[in-house]
Each structure stands twice: as structure tokens, then as C-alpha cells.
Chains A and B, each alone.
Chain A
């Protein structure tokens, strides 16, 4: 099970935070601080895996954004990289050539897409089209209700 998924910029500004375990605000802030410090300090050409407390941390950089997730002992790190990549692809499909600004200005959409892809720390849907399809239909529902 994934414990959290964080997106942050190279300057350490948080762009998205998804938590799958109950933590206090203080604890969340600590995790965010630790992750940004650890991941941003990594030299290039090192592996994408770290050990932190009892979690395996898997991170990947896409342009100016770092995607950082915390896994449990029994989870597959290599698959986690694929999972991160799938989320990026989903964002890319939805926004069309997604960049950091899209996620900044449409953060709520990024969350909606994430919620159709992951739930409770596990992958919900493995089909590339189904996730995008659901989000678009929900968007339509929103527009239909609002004149």
C-alpha cells in the first residue's frame, strides 16, 4: 500500500499532496520537509529508491516536478515507477502536453484524476482510457448542472 504521494518543484514548493494514512498536520509537514530535503539532495544518475524510516521511497523527476511516493516493505518498487509514469501519462492526456503550470492552476483536476487512478493506497484502474473517460464524464456532469 502507498502511504503518500507528493508532487513538488525543484525549489521545494508543494504542488500536490495525497495521504493514505491518518497523520496530524505537524506530521504531514515533517514528512513533506524530509522528502523534499532528501530527494532534492540526490545527485543525478543515482537510483530512484531510498530508505526512510520503515518505508521505501520511490521518486522520479519529470521536467520541473518531482513525484515522490512512500511504499511499504512488500510493495514492488519497480512497479511503483510504472505507477508514477502512468499518472503522468494520465495528466498528459487530460491536459494535453501537461506542464507544471497546468497542475498549479488546475490542482483540483489533478486530484480528481488521481482519485480515479488510486484509492486507499492501491491502484484502482489499470486501463489508460477508463480513467480519462470517467473524469471527462464527471466534468460533463458538472457542466450540465451549471448553466
Chain B
């Protein structure tokens, strides 16, 4: 068999290939030749063949059949073989491979080899990719080499020890004795790797940290010598002596000085010296300054030093070099929590960075800007941030919009400003805002009573311009539905009132219904808005026509709404005004602003920590709103609230709502009324009844009269579940006609266990002063087999004893 071609030759040949297919063909041919050569156990050319295989592996072709050959090369006595063998091992034989462990013995032997370069190869391979088992087996050898006087081996052993500790942290203790004299070395390689080893140990173990604190003076001395020493050609980088070692020492000092007064005191001077004397014209000097600043901020440094550090960062921000600016913004983000005022001084520079072309810098600047917003600078900052929102890339818009909302909510100087700001966000970045901003905004608008006319006018004008941004359109239609009367009356204090007719407004709303740009949710909003205008406008006939058309819409949601509204027109016209009344001021229960707007992949803490409350499915505190949902579709925003803490008050809130919208609610509760039949009853007890039984959920009512008030009926509901899956987040809600008063106490739990293994009970107290027949409308919500279920039901079959 002819000698296999040389590596160079192969590379040259492969590079002549003009197509991928040609290259693949050459590679396959060569692989076949190499495979047969391996089969022949050819020692002479094994090295050459493996080298070629490694080249082909780099091009992306499979090379696993060479793994064992690498092992054979490592075991060979020739240095050339070992060199290529270990290289192959590092490329092909990581710890996921089965044959990885077979290396252990070879490495062990080579660690004790007479030639330091062979020992070096073994240490390198172990230190780059040794598995935990290998590290455990060979830690002793490494420890031995750590104590040798040969600096070439000592530095390699140190980094190998670092790897061992990373893989098997329990072995850390073993290396402690060997660290005794590490820092007295003169050799920079050994010094550097020793500092890395000490850093690793201190980071992993508080005991080690305490133990090594005594090294602070020695480290300070070494650093001082580096700075003061004369020119050393082998370590010099642009006039600075061994910057790599300087940075590592600074990093170790940071860890040692953190939280410890004495150590921090001991390093104060040297830090000040480095901070003031380091040459900043080149990147290398700035690298050292960067590390120094990080150290100063982390340890217990005196305030003068801290101010020095922040000023260095401020200077960085003005540097022409983009890398320096990026690094400055990152560091300022870390320090903004602790040294807020100092960072504020650089606010204008930071805001300028928003206009930078570099995406990484822009992002950091945005995060930092949000962190710096406060009551004093809100107007100015918001102007800049809104300008940024206009012009930034889509990847930023969602985060920026969330940030703006949050900041506006916290620091808005006036309601008008707040509304203007939100409008600006909706019009410029409307498609990127989060879903919950719509209900939040609606709540804000409702509560700013004096701004209603202004708000609806602005929103109307915005709609005329653009109907593609759904959140904006939804808020606008809701407002027009609510405040349409203000819109056409032409009253507006804040700005020039516009003249608009009823027909124009209805045109716009109908336009939303038919537009392709509108999402189904938006269509729902606009249909409800049109309906609401029937009590505010005079063109009722037109509205009737629109509503009846959608009674046969394909969209089920829309159809249902239209049908209900139709019914309202036809049969319950007398109820219509009350039902479609203006919304009352909604209580703000919890701020549901977005939270992690300034998360930067774990680097900085969020600047505003608002606990995120996921909108729960039907909470008692929002019962009122949900029941309003029962009336007229989902146009009423569900105000997200905190988890139910006092459901006992739910009844109270219900009463309040019954008071406010009493007519509407109570009449709606009646609307599928049947004449109540009186029933003869036995005077012994009141029989229980099944109020609801559907989809496996059965709700029974049991009754008792409360003493001393005979007018109060105490109903206990028992909810049981005959399906095979639990029903979780079970919430029971009830509404009664106006003449009654209802109080709902806390449920026993909100999980109805499967297969009738248990029941959820809840007590309802009904006060029936007028002795009217009892009726109830109930709403059930729960999660079953992963999906949310919601159901409404009428309960009319109350035994007459319960209310007489």
C-alpha cells in the first residue's frame, strides 16, 4: 500500500475542489484510505492520518472512527505522536464519549514523564477537558506537580487544579497546602495562574475566603511593583506592565475586600493609585481602569474613592471608543442602585447614548435611562425616551413601551400628561404594547373624570389617522362608546374642540367592524361601543340596524353580543338606559405594570420591582366586573387584582354594585324569568336541592334559617366533581335580584377533587326582607384538564320554604 499522502498535500487538494460535492467526494476517498490504514495498525503513519482526520473534522465531517487511534497515539513513545494524539483527544474525545476514560492511565503515566513537554501535554489535556472521574483519579498527581520548582509545570498544574476544582469541588481542600508559597514566585506565568487558582477557591468557599484574606497585603505589594516597575519587554503592553496579571489581582482583591472593612482599608491606596495613574489612551489601560472601578464599587471603599470611580465611568461615557462606552453603561447599570445620585449626574450623557448607532449600546442606555427616571426629571426623560421609542428597532419597542408605562404610572406630574404620554406610546408603538396595557389605560381614563372630553377627542382623532394598531383602537372604541356624547357636544377645555356629527362617529365605529385590520377582540369592542351610543346619541335606528346585521355574524362572539343587544332593543328597552350607563370610577387594586423591563440577562436588578400579578380567573374582588360581563360582553376590562385575601368582602362589593347599578343588575338577573309557583311544604326542615349539574360538576344547596333573623337564609353550597380530573381554581359567584341582599363567605378550598373524593363548600347568606321569591344567577369558573371553564346558570328552583 503506498504511503498515505501528507497533511499539506491533502489540504491543498481539498482546497482545489470547486463544489461542495467535489469536496465531499475527495474527503470520502481519503477517509476510506485512512480507515484501511487504521485497520492495518500502521504505526508509522498513524500520526499523519489522524492529523488529516482532524483537518476534515474541522471542515465539518465526522471523525469518530479516529477516537481510538488518538488513544494509541497518546500511548506511543514518540513526542510527535503524543502531540497529535493529545490534540485529537481534545478535539474528538470530550467526556461525553465512551472511550474518554481510557485516557486516564496514559495521562497518569505522562504526568510523571521525564520530559516536561510531555508532562505539559498531559496537564493541558486534563485541564481542558478532563471528566470528573478523571479529575478524581489524577488530582493527587496534579497536586504533586503544583509543588514542583519547575515554573513551566507549576503554572500548568495550577490551572489544571482550577479545572479539577470546577469539576469536583470537594477536592478543593487537597490543594490548600500547595498554595502556601504560590505568591512568592517571581515568574509571572506562575503568579497569574496562582491568582486564578486562589480566586476560584475563594469564590467557591467562604472558609477559603476568610483564610486567604491575609494575602491582601502581599497582593497589594505585587500590584504596586507592577505599576512602579520599569519597562519589562516581555510583559509590556503599550507601556503597561503585565495588564493580565494586574486585572486578575484586582479581581481577587475585589473578592477579598467585599464586606470586609480591614481588607478594604488595606487596598484603598493602591486602588486610588491605579485609578489615577493608569494611562487611558489605549484599550489596555481602560481594561485595567474598568476592573478597578468594579473593585472600588464592590468593596467597602471610602466615599472619595467611590466618587472617583463614578467619574471614571463618566469619562468612559464620553470616550470615542464604542467598546469603552458600552462597558461604562454596563457598569453604571450595576451601580445605579447603590449610588443613584452619583449616576444621575451623568444622565444627559447616558441619554445621548440612546442615539448611538450601536445596538448593544442603545439597549444598555435604554435600561439605564429607565433606572434613572424619577419625579424630578420625568418630563425631560420621557421626552427623550418617547423620541427613542419612535425611532428604535422593533426589538426594543416592547420593552421601551413597558418601561414608559411603568415610569409614567409612578411619576406622572399630571393626569393630562399621563394620558398624553400613553397616547403617544399607543400611536407610535401601538402594536408592540403588552396586552394588559389596554385595561390599565381604560381604568386610568375612567378615573380621570375631568379629562374625559379631551381624551375621547384625541382618541377619535387618532382613529381617523390609523386603525391598524389594535390596542389603540380598542381603547379608542371603548372611550367613544362611553363618552361619545361629550365628543359630539363639542365641549373640550384642554384643546380646540372638534366638530363631529353622530353619523361621522358611527361611520368610524362601523368602519372598525368591517375592516380587515381589526382583530376579533377589537370588533367586539366596537360593537359594544356602538350599542352604548344608543343611549347617548339620537340616531338609534341606525344603531339598531347595525346590531341586527351582526346577529348573523360568523364570529360567534360578535354574534352573541349582537343577539343580546337585539334582545335589549326588542324586549327590554326600558332597561337599556340603566344598563348602558356611564361606568363608575374603578378602584385601583394593584399596579399590574410590567416588571422585568430592565433585566439585562442577569446583570442588573430590575429598577422597579412591581410584583407581577397574573390576571387571575375570576377573583372575588373583581366579581362586580365579572357580573357586569354577564350583562354585556367583555368590553368591561377585568381589573387584575391580588390573590383573594378577603373573599368575605366579596358580598359587600357585590352589594355596592347592586346599589349603583341596582336596576340593571337585578333586572338582568330576572330576564329568563318564569312565574314562580308556590309549593306546599312540610314544616320539618328545608330540603336540599341541586342547583347545577353539568360536565361532571354538581352543586347542591342546603338550607337553614339563621337565628335570630328569620329573614336571612343561610345556603351552603356543596360542589362535587365526578370526572377523573381535579377542578382547580374553582370560584363560585352569585348574584340575586335587587330586593335581596347577598353575602358570600370564604370557600373551604378552591380545588374540587376528582371522582367525588371531596366537596368544596361555601356559605351564602341571603337577606330577604320583602319575602320575594328567591332567584339566583351563578357563575362558575375553574380549570379542568388544563383548560379554563366558565359557566353561567340560573337557579330558580329554590324550595319555597327557603324564602317564605
Contacts and interface: CB of A to CB of B under 8 A. Distances in A.
Interface of A: 14-17, 19-20, 22-24, 29, 43, 45-51, 54, 73-74, 76-79, 81-83, 86, 104-105, 107-108, 111-112, 115, 119-120, 122-130, 134, 137-138, 141-142, 145-146
18 contacts: A17-B91, A22-B95, A45-B322, A47-B325, A48-B322, A78-B324, A79-B247, A105-B11, A107-B55, A111-B87, A112-B87, A120-B162, A122-B159, A122-B193, A123-B196, A127-B188, A142-B80, A146-B78
Nearest to B254: A74
A115 B237 CA distance: 21
B352 to A, nearest CB: 16
Given A45-B322, A82-B244, A111-B87, A129 B234 contact: yes
A32 B8 CA distance: 25
Contacts of B127: 119-120
Contacts of A47: 322-323, 325-326, 358, 360-361
A124 B189 CA distance: 6
Nearest to B193: A124
Interface stretch (B171-179, B285-293, B672-680): B285-293
B144 interface: no
Given A105-B11, A141-B115, A51 B601 contact: yes
Given A79-B243, A108-B87, A146-B80, A119 B156 contact: yes
Contact of B287 (A45, A78, A142): A78
A137 B116 CA distance: 11
B602 interface: yes
B244 A123 contact: yes
Contacts of B242: 126
Given A22-B95, A119-B124, 12 more contacts: A14-B58, A22-B129, A49-B327, A76-B247, A79-B291, A81-B323, A82-B243, A112-B87, A120-B127, A120-B163, A122-B159, A138-B117
B283 A81 contact: yes
Interface of B: 7-8, 11, 15, 51, 54-55, 58-60, 78-80, 83-84, 87, 91, 94-96, 115, 117, 120, 123-124, 127-129, 131, 152, 155-156, 159-160, 162-163, 166, 188-189, 192-193, 196, 233-235, 237, 242-245, 247, 251, 283-284, 286-287, 290-291, 322-327, 357-361, 600-603
Contacts of B156: 119, 124
A130 B359 CA distance: 40
Given A47-B360, A76-B247, A78-B286, A120 B160 contact: yes
Contacts of B55: 107
A20 B193 contact: no
A26 B719 CA distance: 53
B235 A115 contact: no
A141 B286 CA distance: 41
Q: Which interface residue of A16, A19, A107, A115 has the most chain B CB atoms within 10 A?
A: A115
Contacts of B234: 127-130
B83 A126 contact: no
A21 B303 CA distance: 41
Q: Interface residues of A: mostly helix, strand, loop or mixed?
A: mixed
B159 A120 contact: yes
B58 A107 contact: yes
Contacts of B58: 14-17, 107
Contacts of B326: 47, 49, 77
Contacts of A126: 188-189, 192, 235, 242, 244-245
Contacts of B78: 145-146
A73 B600 CA distance: 11
A138 B601 CA distance: 43
Contacts of A127: 188-189, 234-235
A120 B167 CA distance: 11
Nearest to A51: B601
B737 to A, nearest CB: 59
B235 A124 contact: no
A122 B115 CA distance: 24
A100 to B, nearest CB: 12
Contact of B155 (A104, A112, A124): A124
B54 A77 contact: no
Contact of B117 (A17, A141, A146): A141
Contacts of B91: 17
A147 B602 CA distance: 57
A119 B603 CA distance: 26
Nearest to B92: A25
B94 A19 contact: yes
Q: Which interface residue of A29, A74, A120, A142 has the most chain B CB atoms within 10 A?
A: A120
B160 A138 contact: no
A20 B360 CA distance: 26
Given A51-B360, A78-B283, A142 B243 contact: no
A70 B504 CA distance: 60
A119 to B, nearest CB: 4
B8 to A, nearest CB: 6
A73 B94 contact: no
B245 A134 contact: no
Given A76-B291, A124-B156, A141 B79 contact: yes
B189 A122 contact: no
A54 B323 contact: no
A108 B51 contact: yes
A50 B361 CA distance: 10
A19 B710 CA distance: 81
Given A20-B128, A73-B603, A105-B11, A138 B83 contact: yes
Contacts of A104: 11, 15
Contacts of B245: 126
A47 B322 CA distance: 5
A125 B155 contact: yes
A119 B60 CA distance: 24
Contacts of B243: 79, 82
A129 B242 CA distance: 13
A112 B83 contact: yes
B323 A77 contact: yes
A46 B359 contact: yes
B708 to A, nearest CB: 67
Contact of A79 (B162, B193, B287): B287
A56 to B, nearest CB: 9
A108 B54 contact: yes
A104 to B, nearest CB: 7
A47 B115 CA distance: 45
A38 to B, nearest CB: 11
A16 B131 CA distance: 23
B602 A73 contact: yes
A15 B247 CA distance: 30
B189 A24 contact: no
B168 to A, nearest CB: 14
Contacts of A23: 94
A130 B283 CA distance: 23
Nearest to B358: A46
Contacts of A124: 155-156, 159, 189, 192-193
Nearest to A32: B60
Contacts of B15: 104
B96 A46 contact: no
B201 to A, nearest CB: 14
B756 to A, nearest CB: 49
B545 to A, nearest CB: 55
B155 A54 contact: no
B602 A130 contact: no
Contact of A76 (B152, B290, B600): B290
B342 to A, nearest CB: 22
A50 B600 CA distance: 12
Contact of A134 (B7, B8, B152, B162): B152
Contacts of B189: 124-127, 130
B94 A82 contact: no
B75 to A, nearest CB: 16
A73 to B, nearest CB: 7
Contacts of A108: 7, 51, 54, 83-84, 87
Contacts of B244: 79, 82-83, 123, 126
